[in-house]
Amino acid sequence: MPTVRTVAFRPMRTFAALWAFVAVMAAAPAHAGEQELFRIERSVNGNVVRYDARVRSDGTLDPEHPVTAYWVLAGQGSRREALTSLERSLAYGFSLHQSRDGLYLKLVACERRWVGLRKDNDGWHAELAIAGKWSVLRSIWVQVDSGFLGPRVRWIELRGSDRATGAPVAERLTNG
């Protein structure tokens, strides 16, 4: 028969530990949620890769993981699914770079352009030049053709809105 060990319950010690935990949690900015930055849509199906800013309750980005990317699967109640390591390294991954004027994101899918993360009164936005205009990036469309060796990206289109006027802007990038 196993030995049963009796531990004395000390309510004051337990209360003090709980109080210390609550004080620490109140002092640290809480993770308030995720705010969509942009998405990658493809001609293959309705599934999209969504890129979100992870925002703390004080409005700043989470310093450990400021941006997250994941699949939103169409037709399955918009179910969320993590990217695989292969998808992150070959197509949908990104790297983050801090500079004097802010945080920048470099996408594997569109490495020709750096995407700046900026905050204004409406929250966080992904910004870059689209068709020569400083713009808020809304989506990237990927036109895919099936080929003998598998799918091939024919072109991608950056879609957003002009920062100055709010007018829609788009620019198509081709391989070459």
Q: What is the mean pLDDT of the chain?
A: 83
Confidence category of residue 31, pLDDT binned at 50, 70, 90: low
Predicted confidence at residue 101, as pLDDT, reads: 85
Predicted confidence at residue 176, as pLDDT, reads: 61
pLDDT higher than threshold 90 for residue 38: yes
Interatomic CA distance for residues 167 and 25, integer angstroms: 43
Interatomic CA distance for residues 49 and 24, integer angstroms: 35
Domain layout of the chain by residue ranges = 30-174
Task: Name residue 156's beta-bridge partners.
Answer: 142, 173
pLDDT higher than threshold 70 for residue 141: yes
Confidence category of residue 113, pLDDT binned at 50, 70, 90: confident
Q: What is the mean pLDDT of residues 69-93?
A: 91
Q: Among residues of the chain, what percentage have pLDDT more than 70?
A: 81
Nearest CA to 94 out of 80, 120, 113 is that of 113
Q: Is the Cβ–Cβ distance between 170 and 159 less than 8 Å?
A: yes
Instruction: Give the Å distances, CA to CA, from 157 to 69, 102, 130.
Output: 19, 25, 10
Confidence category of residue 13, pLDDT binned at 50, 70, 90: very low
Residue 28 is encoded by which pair of tokens? Answer: 């640290």
